Amino acid sequence: MDTTQRTDQQRSADRRRRELLEAADRVVLRDGPQASMNAIAAEAGITKPILYRHFGDKGGLYAALAKRHTDALLASLRAALDAPAERRERVESTLDTYLAAIEARPQVYRFLMHPAEGGQGGDQGFDVGKHSAPLLRRMGEELAQVIEERVDLGPGSQQLARVWGHGIVGMMHAAGDWWLGERPCSRAELVRSLADLLWGRLAAAGDRMGGPGF
Transcribe 64-121 into DSSP letters: HHHHHHHHHHHHHHHHHHHSSS-HHHHHHHHHHHHHHHHHH-HHHHHHHHSPPTT-SS
**61 in a domain, yes or no?**
yes
Q: Is the dihedral of CA 131, 132, 133, 134 positive or negative?
A: positive
Q: Does the pLDDT value for residue 204 go beyond 80?
A: no
pLDDT of residue 196: 94
**117 in a domain, yes or no?**
yes
How distant, in Å, are the alpha carbons of 91, 105, 147, 151, 200 from that of 159? Answer: 20, 33, 11, 13, 20
Q: Rounded to 10 degrees, what is the CA torsion of 169, 130, 181, 43?
A: 110
**38 in a domain, yes or no?**
yes
Give the whole-angstrom CA distance, residue 70 versus residue 139: 8
**182 in a domain, yes or no?**
yes
**96 in a domain, yes or no?**
yes
Instruction: Provide mean pLDDT across the span 169-176.
Output: 95
- Domain that includes residue 26, residue range: 9-201
pLDDT of residue 170: 94
Closest CA to 45 of 62, 61, 22, 29: 22
Q: Does the pLDDT value for residue 171 go beyond 90?
A: yes
Instruction: Provide mean pLDDT across the span 115-138.
Output: 61
Give the whole-angstrom CA distance, residue 33 versus residue 48: 18
Q: Does the pLDDT value for residue 8 go beyond 90?
A: no
Tell me the CATH number at 77. 1.10.357.10
More confident: 211 or 93: 93
Q: End-to-end distance of the chain based on CA atoms, in angstroms?
A: 69
At 74-118, the pLDDT tens digits run 899 888 888 888 889 989 999 999 999 999 999 989 888 886 554
pLDDT of residue 192: 96
Do 100 and 90 meet the contact criterion of CB atoms below 8 Å apart? Answer: no
User: Which percentage of the chain shows pLDDT scores above 90?
Assistant: 40
**206 in a domain, yes or no?**
no
User: Could you tell me which residues come within 8 angstroms of residue 102 by beta carbon, excluding any fewer than 6 positions away?
Assistant: 109, 176, 180
Average per-residue pLDDT for the chain:
84
**207 in a domain, yes or no?**
no
At 150-165, the pLDDT tens digits run 778 888 889 999 999 9
Count of domains forming the chain: 1
User: Which percentage of the chain shows pLDDT scores above 70?
Assistant: 83
**71 in a domain, yes or no?**
yes
pLDDT of residue 67: 86
